[in-house]
């Protein structure tokens, strides 16, 4: 793997070993309950991963599409027949009643990229449209994400080493992928995630933060849900 998104592609490859299915499901339910009363017809899921939330939105009768910069993620969605492109939000045309960025997507961007990203979201929201996203709190980074873990299954052996310093979480993924001949191929990539304080969002020029709620996905006030409208 040598592409610009090799680190996201490795994440995509090992996500099933992280044990986050239950948390993902709970988070998707929370987003769906926020959207339930809003009569959403069109939805864009940015950083849609394997498309689990798009499938839920389609089941509710919404017109739903998505994008993800990881080719592995985008392909998995396309193989399931979902309307998903490989890339960031800038690849998407049209306007949407709802845009979502679920499970840490905003934490993958540094301040500068996030600022531009929020502008791109505003351009794609219909007049009364809503943007919903979540970010990790400092607790989420220091109490939940930081540390070492390992896991294995028939696909291989994964080791994760995450360090939170100066508001940045650097996670090194080392994956020994089991090949058909019984040998292992080693892949190693790191992902940096950035802590963003709520005041950053409150001061944004094109999106207005209309609601926020901190909650516990892992029993320790680890996440904040953010709801925005266009200014």
Ligand X SMILES: C[S@@+](CC[C@H](N)C(=O)[O-])C[C@H]1O[C@@H](n2cnc3c(N)ncnc32)[C@H](O)[C@@H]1O
Of 73, 92, 118, 122, the one binding ligand X by CB under 6 A = 73
Joined together, the tokens standing for residue 193 give: 């995630």
The CB-of-121 to ligand X minimum distance in angstroms stands at 11
Q: Is residue 131 a contact residue for ligand X (CB under 6 A)?
A: no
The CB-of-154 to ligand X minimum distance in angstroms stands at 22
Name 183's Cβ contacts closer than 8 Å, sequence gap at least 6. Answer: none
How many CB atoms within 10 Å of residue 189? 19
Of 88, 116, 209, 221, the one binding ligand X by CB under 6 A = 88
Of 49, 129, 140, 156, the one binding ligand X by CB under 6 A = 49
Segment near ligand X (CB under 6 A); pick from 35-43, 66-74, 123-131, 146-154: 66-74
Rg for the chain, CA atoms, rounded:
18
Tell me how far apart the alpha carbons of residues 84 and 86 are, in angstroms, rounded to a whole number: 7
DSSP per-residue codes, 169-224 = EEEEEEEEEEPTTS-EEEEEEEEEEE---HHHHHT-SSEEEEEEEEE-SSSS--EE
Of 30, 52, 121, 160, the one binding ligand X by CB under 6 A = 52
Binding site for ligand X (CB under 6 A): 8, 24, 46-49, 52-53, 68-70, 73, 88, 102-105, 108-109
């Amino acid at each position: 793997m040598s592409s610009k998104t090799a680190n996201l592609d490795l994440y995509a490859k090992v996500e099933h070993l992280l044990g986050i299915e239950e948390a993902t499901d709970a988070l998707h339910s929370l987003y769906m309950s926020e959207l339930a009363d809003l009569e959403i017809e069109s939805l864009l899921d940015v950083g849609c991963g394997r498309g689990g939330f798009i499938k839920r939105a389609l089941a509710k009768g919404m017109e739903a599409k998505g994008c993800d910069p990881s080719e592995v993620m985008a392909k998995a969605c396309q193989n399931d027949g979902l309307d998903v492109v490989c890339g960031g939000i800038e690849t998407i045309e049209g306007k949407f009643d709802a845009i979502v960025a679920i499970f840490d997507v905003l934490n993958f961007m540094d301040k500068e990229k996030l600022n531009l990203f929020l502008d791109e979201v505003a351009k794609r929201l219909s007049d009364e449209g809503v943007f919903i996203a979540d970010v990790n709190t400092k607790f989420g980074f220091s109490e939940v994400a930081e540390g070492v873990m390992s896991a294995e299954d028939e696909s291989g052996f994964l080791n994760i080493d995450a360090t939170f310093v100066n508001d940045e979480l650097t996670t090194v993924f080392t994956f020994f992928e089991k090949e058909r001949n019984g040998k292992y191929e080693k892949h190693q990539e790191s992902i940096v995630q950035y802590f963003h304080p709520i005041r950053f969002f409150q001061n944004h020029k094109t999106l207005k933060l209309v609601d926020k709620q901190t909650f516990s996905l892992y029993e320790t006030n680890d996440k904040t849900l953010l709801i925005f409208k266009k200014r």
